[in-house]
């Protein structure tokens, strides 16, 4: 089942904001869309502190489809041809924790997160 949410917030005097999106169980982060008047740094982690996404200076608007390299059962990176990594959407456990930095003082910020349960 595909699920998603939009969160609107305003950065504080330190140009930062943080919030948690409550999800149940586990999921796979499929996409995110950022709308901001500035060019913020955005980091998304799960309840195990696994970083699902991190980017500095995101342009407005920005849409991303976070992917990570796939490992074999031996723990070796899987490639298509020995050079191009195979990547997939990343699983997460629990909530999605979003941290915005350098977003500008009192600047409007919105993020849409889409995940599969």
Q: Which domains does the chain have, with CATH numbers?
A: 2-116 (2.60.120.380)
User: Rounded to an integer, what distance in angstroms lies between the CA atom of residue 112 and that of residue 5?
Assistant: 6
Listed in sequence order, the residues at least 6 apart from 96 whose beta carbon sits closer than 8 Å to its beta carbon are 20, 21, 23, 29, 44, 45, 46, 52, 113, 115
State how far the alpha carbon of 72 is from the alpha carbons of 43, 47, 82, 96, in Å: 27, 25, 13, 26
- The model's confidence at residue 47, banded by pLDDT at 50, 70 and 90, is very high
pLDDT at 24 (0 to 100): 83
Residue 37 has pLDDT above 90, yes or no: no
Instruction: Give the residue carrying structure tokens 């943080």.
Output: 18
What mean pLDDT is predicted for residues 42-67?
Answer: 94
Q: What is the percentage of the chain residues whose pLDDT exceeds 70?
A: 100
């Amino acid at each position: 089942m595909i699920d998603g949410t939009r969160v609107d917030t305003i950065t504080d005097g330190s140009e930062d904001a943080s919030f948690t999106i409550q999800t149940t169980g586990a999921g796979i982060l499929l996409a995110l869309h950022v709308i901001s008047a500035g060019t913020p740094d955005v980091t998304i982690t799960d309840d195990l502190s696994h970083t699902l996404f991190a980017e500095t200076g995101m342009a407005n608007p920005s849409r991303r489809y976070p992917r990570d390299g796939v490992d074999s059962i031996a723990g070796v990176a899987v490639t298509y041809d020995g050079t191009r990594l195979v990547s997939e959407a990343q699983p997460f456990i629990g909530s999605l924790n979003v941290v915005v930095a350098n977003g500008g003082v009192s600047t409007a910020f919105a993020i849409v997160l889409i995940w599969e349960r």
